[in-house]
A and B are shown apart, each in its own frame.
Chain A
């Protein structure tokens, strides 16, 4: 293998080398090449630094991000979601209102209609 091929084989393995993803034989080859090649050692150092710096590129979303997403959904759902909250209940509790309505109708049926279906009280 000539020198150019040797450089190419080593640099081609840089990613796997820095991630510890090389098999023992290939790793030994790269180590051997690096021990004698200053050019590739410098290139590997620059490669490591580049990859390492990418990990520092972190940015948080703006502070008002959640509110803006909620406003978008509210607008697109025509107010169905993320609308203004009612002060006492957080939102209108439709499920509890319907349950209360069913119970009230049941009580009305038992007390008023079931106890005297014809409205006539039987004589003693």
Chain B
């Protein structure tokens, strides 16, 4: 752990509100994006991401520093997302709404294009939004664990060490399951993207 991270942590343990604000500013976007890609719905994602930071605030003492702070926070985000997916699947009939990609449509219909397209021309933004919608629908088709691995590695661009810490899976298992997930995504996207 870096000195800066240790100082920040000691302020967090003392429930320093400004230190907590720094944490939300630093990791808010990553947590939100991770959760959004896992659950597919912006409204659910915002709600879950808020829960993640409430948990961080409440249970910062349980962070022992074995993993990076970012990894610890993303693990909380992954666990909250899994729980919410299970809860929604139980509540909805057979969990159809998440698995058929209809929530994924929300992601592109929200009126916001992906971050990288904010300053592009309208037609480029529309195309980016359409690609995002198709990609999100395909991600929603994956099994829960495959979805998590793809999002952690290819969307959030985490290292294998970080993914091992978050998922608790051995590195070899992560790599083989990730490969299967990528192949499944490739097949799901066949003929849907230029």
Asked whether, in the complex, the Cβ of A66 is within 8 Å of the Cβ of B182, the reply is: no
Inter-chain contacts of B29 with A (CB < 8 A):
58-61
A56 on the B face (CB < 8 A):
yes
Proximity string of chain B (24-53) to chain A, C-beta cutoff 8 Å, 1 when within and 0 when not: 110011011100110000100010011101
Count residues of chain B with CB under 8 A from any CB of chain A: 46
In the complex, A53 Cα to B135 Cα: how many Å? 8
Inter-chain contacts of A61 with B (CB < 8 A):
28-29, 31-33, 46, 49
Inter-chain contacts of A70 with B (CB < 8 A):
17, 21
Inter-chain contacts of A65 with B (CB < 8 A):
24, 28, 32, 46, 49-50
Within 41-97 of B, Cβ neighbours of A (below 8 Å) are at 42, 46, 49-51, 53-54, 57
B132 on the A face (CB < 8 A):
yes
CB B29 to nearest CB in A, in angstroms, measures: 5
Interface residues on A, range: 20 to 34
Chain B interface, >50% SS class:
helix
Interface residues, chain A, CB within 8 Å of chain B? 11-12, 14-16, 21, 43, 46-47, 49-51, 53-62, 65-66, 68-70, 72-73, 76, 81-82
Interface residues, chain B, CB within 8 Å of chain A? 15, 17, 20-21, 24-25, 28-29, 31-33, 36-37, 42, 46, 49-51, 53-54, 57, 107, 112, 114-116, 128, 131-132, 135-136, 150-151, 154-155, 157, 175, 178-179, 182-183, 185-186, 189-190, 193
